Structure 1
Amino acid sequence: MYELFVLGELMTGDKHGYMLQDVLKNAVGLVRKISSGTLYPLLSRMTEAGWIHLQVEEETKGGRTRKIYGITEAGREKFYEMMASPLDADAGAETELTFRFKMVYFQYVTKEVRLDCLEQYLQIVEKNYRYVSQFEAYLLANMPEPEKQRVQLLRVFDHRKRLGEVDMQWVREEIERVQIQEE
């Protein structure tokens, strides 16, 4: 998933590691953190795989070297492959983050790839919505104890259903918007 992000960011132009880390930190949100201990080994693996190249420049302030990363042709091919690959419906929160990353880089892929991604995500959200609705119906029909826990669980399911409804509506509208766009 982070590979997709790095390749997508490098599609916009060369960047140094600190900039990639800063943008990624903002992209993943407040809940997740991306450390240098995660990012730099990833960049090394991607360089070894031939997806990105590294250029070392001497930085004037403080005499530190700055590593500038750029995407290679093999990296572009990998990026397009990752963008076209199906979302993993079983990856939970990772699926949502991957979907968000893909959306950021939609401008680099075809309309067909964008629509496939949106439709896959819609199916995942609909499946989760059905699951929550079915479990909610089970709780209402069987009234398991303790009552306080059941009531609070029903509140949680109400929250998840409402988020799902908004998410489904937004994705459907986005699909319609993309469908009428010219390639």
Structure 2
Amino acid sequence: TTSLRTLAYSNGPQGDSYPDTALMDLKITGDGVSAGPTPASFALSGALPDLSGAPLAQHRSIELSEDPSAPNFFVNGRQFSMGAPTFDTPAKLGTVEEWTITNTSGEDHPFHMHSNAFQVTAVNGIPAPYPHRQDTVIVPHAVNGTPGRVVIRQQFSDYPGLWMFHCHIAAHEDHGMMGYIQVNP
């Protein structure tokens, strides 16, 4: 028997705090099963390739910010508009880009990319411990005036069109912290 818990979490001095809370109790019954052999490698067959050595077609910057006196959130100083892509220059299908995402606000922002998993290469200057793909990463809040910073590599290999990204806190997205990039063939 054990409990599944959410740990206490604060997303920064400007954000929210959540308590350590029990979510459910688990009770496992039945006969035990012995563990299988330990794999020699944790590499998964079919896993997406490591992008850390890939040639880069473009470097891009994204700044996440907010107005602490009102519920207004921004990507590169602008609130979301479907009529205006975040970047003037589209991405090209079949290329890899490196994006540096900074957060100037006093709360963490979970950056989420629709329909594409990216590879995190560094958080606040610390290299990522292993290569893998994910669709969301926490961009840490600013500390003593120094923005939080995440560097990702994006591979545009699936399809042309509009690729959306936003803060994964729904209220932040709904109040402007969202954007998109045009991906051309």
User: Max radius of gyration: which structure?
Assistant: 1
Normalized per residue, the structure richer in strand is 2
> TM-score scaled to structure 2, two decimals?
0.20
Structure with the bigger RCO (C-alpha within 8 Å, sep 6+) is 2
> TM-score scaled to structure 1, two decimals?
0.20
